[in-house]
Amino acid sequence: MLVLARKQDESIVIGEDIIIKVISIDKGVVKLGIEAPSSVSIIRNELLEDIKDSNIAASKEVEPENVNLLSKILRK
């Protein structure tokens, strides 16, 4: 992991087209601005973890007989 120190209004560049800029620092909270192509997905890590946990929980709720029924329907 690369660790960089940046002050307010300073930036880092990732690749050729991703810029991360420190917008503000206030009471231990750092606000970042991110400029990236629309093809680049940007999501907070805690949201990604929540989505993963939800998907795992949902997959455990499926009854085996429902999976078998769905499989039969898809074969038709």
pTM above 0.95, yes or no: no
Please report which confidence band the pLDDT of residue 76 belongs to, taking 50, 70 and 90 as the band edges: low
pLDDT for res 3: 96
Residue range 14-50, pLDDT digits in tens: 999 999 999 999 999 999 999 999 999 998 988 888 8
Q: What is the CA radius of gyration of the chain?
A: 21
DSSP string computed for 6-74: --TT-EEEETTTEEEEEEEEETTEEEEEEE--TTS----HHHHHHHHHHHHHHHHT--HHHHHHHHHHH
Q: What percent of the chain has pLDDT over 90?
A: 55
Q: What percent of the chain has pLDDT over 70?
A: 96
Mean pLDDT of the chain: 89
